[in-house]
Structures are given as C-alpha cells and as structure tokens.
Amino acid sequence: MKASKKIKPRLLIDVDGVLRDFIGGLASIYQREYPDHKIKPVVSRDLHDNFPIGQEIYRFMDETFADEILLEAPLIGDPVPALQAYESRYNLVIVTAQPPQGRYPTLQWLGKYRIPTDEVRITDQKDEVYGAILLDDFVHNLEAFEKTGRPAVCFDQPWNQSWKGPRVSSVAEFLQFADYLLRRDEEDIISPDTYLA
C-alpha cells in the first residue's frame, strides 16, 4: 500500500457564519437588551449600520456580552451528521479568527454541539494553515486562501455575494464538493501535491 493512501486530506472549516449563527446569537441578545430597537438585515460586516446603537455594537458584542453571544448562538442548519459521516475520510480542522476573549466560549461552543474535529486553530491568517480546501464566509479570507493556489469555497451568506468562486449553502454540500475537488470518489490515492500548501 502506498503511503499516500493513508493520508487524510485536511479540510479547513470556519466557525462564525458557517457552523455558528453568530449574527443570530448577537441579534437575540441585542433584542433582549433593547426590545424596542429594530435591527436591519445584516448584509455586510459593518454591523454599526444595522444595529441602532451604531459603533457601540462592537463593545456590546466583543466585551459586554461576548461570552453569552458566543455560547448561546445557534448552529447554522444541521452540520454535525454530515461532519460525522466524513470524519473517517478527512481530517476536519476548525479554523476560526477569535479575539482573546472569544477563544474560551468558542471552544465551549464547539464542545456543546459536539462538533467533530481533529484540530482547532485560532488564527486570522487562514491562508497560512496547512490544508486542502477552506470553507469560509468572509471574502477576504477566501481571496487570501485562493492566492495560495488552493480552492476556497464560500458558505453562502448575504455579506459575501461579491465572491465569484465556488459557493455552497450547507456543510453537507461542501463535503460533497470536497470529494469532487479531491476526486475522492474516483480513486483513493491523492498526490500530496494536491493539498500541500
């Protein structure tokens, strides 16, 4: 058996906007604190345009209510069964940018929902992480990753409509697309050149 058969490709998977509905979690805590405020639909990362407290939203989410928002934010869809189904074929690597105060509640959140993962990387330099494909919702991350010559796949959200590359609307769809990109359904042997950074 060739050594390459034993190598499981690493799939890099973002958290907020992909697995965790951060905006939904933020909105529900916000409405609890400001029941009379009307939140506009979030279509960009400029959250001060959407929440009536304006720039104060950043202190609200990053300081005052950071733990609660990050812990209580719901899942997006139902990604766990799909991740479970693929964990024997891929190394599932969580790659998430978090400020220092976001690290502990994010690790708790991943455990709370029993997200199947082989590794958790906390970094905003996702293009520097070793792995075959990135799934992310932030156009900047997708562009930076694509520049390294590896496929970047967008998780469809209102704020990333400018991305012209591959796009999926669920984790299950992403995993099927990864099979296609890495030809996992055609042959079991993948050249390491295919996915080394």
Residues that bind Mg ion (CB under 5 A): 14, 16-17, 137
Closest CA to 122 of 134, 104, 143, 145: 104
Closest C-alpha to 136, from 20, 11, 13: 13
Residue 19 CA to residue 115 CA, distance in Å, equals 9
Tell me whether residue 43 or residue 88 sits nearer to Mg ion (CB atom): 43
Closer of 71 and 190 to Mg ion (Cβ): 71
What is the closest distance, in whole angstroms, from the C-beta atom of residue 117 to Mg ion in the complex? Answer: 16
Least spacing, CB of residue 15 vs Mg ion, in Å: 6
Cα 142 from chain centroid?
Answer: 11
Whether 151 and 177 have beta carbons less than 8 Å apart is answered as no
Sequence-distant (≥ 6) Cβ neighbours of residue 195 within 8 angstroms: 9, 10, 131, 132, 133, 150, 182
- Give the pairing of strands 91-96 and 10-13: parallel
CB of 138 to Mg ion, least distance (A): 5
Q: How far is the CB of 76 from Mg ion (least distance, A)?
A: 10
**Shortest distance, position 108 Cβ to Mg ion, whole Å:** 18
Measured distance CA(197)–CA(193) in Å, rounded: 8
Which of 16, 127 has the CB closer to Mg ion? Answer: 16
Residue closest to Mg ion (Cβ): 17
Q: Which is nearer to Mg ion, 17 or 25 (CB)?
A: 17
Q: Which is nearer to Mg ion, 9 or 102 (CB)?
A: 102
- The C-alpha R_g of the chain, in whole angstroms, comes to 18
| Residue 159 or 177 having the CB closest to Mg ion | 159
Alpha carbons within 13 angstroms on the beta-carbon side of residue 84 total: 7
User: Minimum CB separation from Mg ion for residue 124, in Å?
Assistant: 10
